[in-house]
Structure 1
Amino acid sequence: MHRKLHSFFACAFCIVLSACGTADQLSQIGKTPALTAIQDPTTMPGYRPVQMPMPMKESDHYAANSLWRSGNRAFFKDQRAKKVGDILTVIVTVSDQAAFDNTSKQGRTDKQNIGAGGAVGAAINTLALPAGMNASSLATLDSTNNYTGTGSIDRKEKLSTTVAAVVTQVLPNGNLVVEGRQEIRVNYEVRELVVGGVIRPQDIAADNTIDSKKIAEARIGYGGRGQITSVQQPRYGSQALDILLPF
């Protein structure tokens, strides 16, 4: 009974969500999807400051008759991003391809004979078994089991684009935490690109760009919302039934 109540409330909750989503979609008929307002990434829901293992801090000192300061990575200043609020360009290059083939085979054959010989067999033949039967071959058990499994995966993904990102944190060791978001609306579809992670200032090129392959803890998301995305998604009822139905 307790499980039935849980299922009932889950279905009711899904229906309410479906109604809210349907009302929102109905209000957007004939309108283009709204773009998200420009916001401070640190004030968005779900934002959490990044914490990474840091080395011991070294104190700065100058050598005699020298303008060089310990800890510097370059002699001349440049315009590459290095402070909170600075902007750099992330070159997103994702080329992922995987192919797996797996075949499993299992076979087993088992055969057993049960009988009695000698004096015991002769006694059984005389006292217990009908004419024509022999105790030396009372029973024969045969068992055969064969299993064959085959599976394959062939996946290929490729994404090449650029997005401007803003420095949201400067870690104690000098590494930069960056986050970038881009929205492009074409007719009635909005494409969204989100990039985030930790980079080294040394990996930033002279033109203030960095390859996505050099981003540690990289988080790259590419998707969309609008009429095409809505058509491609199963209805809320179908998604709820896929989760709740045990078969």
Structure 2
Amino acid sequence: MKSHFLALSMSVLLAACTTVPPTNVHQPMTMRPLPRPDLQSSNGAIFQAAAARPLFEDRRARNLGDTMTIKITENTAASTKSNNKLDRSQKNTSSISAMAGLPGQTLLGTNLQASGSSAFEGKGEAANNNVFTGTITVTVIDVYPNGNLLVSGEKQLAIGNEQEFIRVSGVVNPAFVDFSNSIDSSKVADARIEYKNSGQIGEGMMMGWLARFFLSVLPF
């Protein structure tokens, strides 16, 4: 009995220590740029070889540590509807009218009848709509051999006792980045977008740990 109580206590403690699963966003969230080679110092001319970027080079992100802005414009809608109907009926009749010269004369005049019917009807309908808009600046954390950029970023916002976390990552084709160094989230491949909050409101919407424990172990 004591061992059963100890096992139950350990299960409750493990359920209490359960935390939110780790983020699915590509890590790390930021990246330091690569060190630049030593360039000659300023010589007073208009063109400076020591400038961070060439004079006629655009400001779009392309190197490790560069930043770009992602415009989150996610608007998804999905619906499904099904309707099934099945009817089935069956009727069988048999009789024994003559058995001349055969045993079993007592079965003469026997009539056998059987009938059956079944009906099935099912309906199902589901709908889902999601809207998420906003902007976030991310950092290039890797450059693929074909030139595509792996970006990742996080934004934290705290208002009073409430905290909001927005995490975005994905693969960006530099050709889709516009002149303002921005790109729509619909053009980001392997996009992973997370929005989470913590605080009194978030805790009020979460099931208690003891209820989650019994919900996971009870078979009914």
Please classify the TM superposition score into its range, dividing by the shorter chain length: 0.7 to 0.9
The residue number in structure 1 matching 2:85 is 105
Aligned length in residues: 185
For 2:153, give the aligned amino acid.
Answer: G
Higher strand share: 2
The residue number in structure 2 matching 1:214 is 187
Structure 1's unaligned 5+ residue stretches are: 25-40, 45-75
Could you tell me how far apart the structure 2 residues matched to 1:115 and 1:242 are?
59
State the SS of the aligned residue for 1:238.
helix
State the SS of the aligned residue for 1:237.
helix
For 1:127, give the aligned amino acid.
Answer: T
Could you tell me how far apart the structure 2 residues matched to 1:92 and 1:191 are?
16
Could you tell me how far apart the structure 2 residues matched to 1:243 and 1:120 are?
71
Could you tell me how far apart the structure 2 residues matched to 1:211 and 1:226 are?
30
Where do 1:1-247 residues align within 5 Å?
9=7, 11-17=8-14, 19-20=16-17, 41-42=27-28, 76-119=56-99, 124=104, 126-128=105-107, 134-135=109-110, 137=111, 139-247=112-220
TM-score (norm 1): 0.67
State the SS of the aligned residue for 2:201.
helix
The percent identity for this pair of structures is 27
For 2:61, give the aligned amino acid.
Answer: A
Question: What's the Cα RMSD here?
Answer: 2.8
- Report the CA distance between 1:230 and its aligned residue: 0.9
Could you tell me how far apart the structure 1 residues matched to 2:100 and 2:216 are?
63
Higher helix share: 1
State the SS of the aligned residue for 2:13.
helix
TM-score (norm 2): 0.74
Cα deviation code 1:68-112 (max 9, x no counterpart): xxxxxxxx4111111111111110011011222111112211222
Could you tell me how far apart the structure 1 residues matched to 2:121 and 2:154 are?
48
State the SS of the aligned residue for 1:117.
coil
For 1:170, give the aligned amino acid.
Answer: V
For 1:152, give the aligned amino acid.
Answer: E
Q: Is the 8 A contact 2:141 2:151 kept in 1?
A: yes
State the SS of the aligned residue for 2:62.
coil
For 1:16, give the aligned amino acid.
Answer: L
Cα deviation code 1:185-213 (max 9, x no counterpart): 12222111111110111111110111000
- Report the CA distance between 1:16 and its aligned residue: 0.9
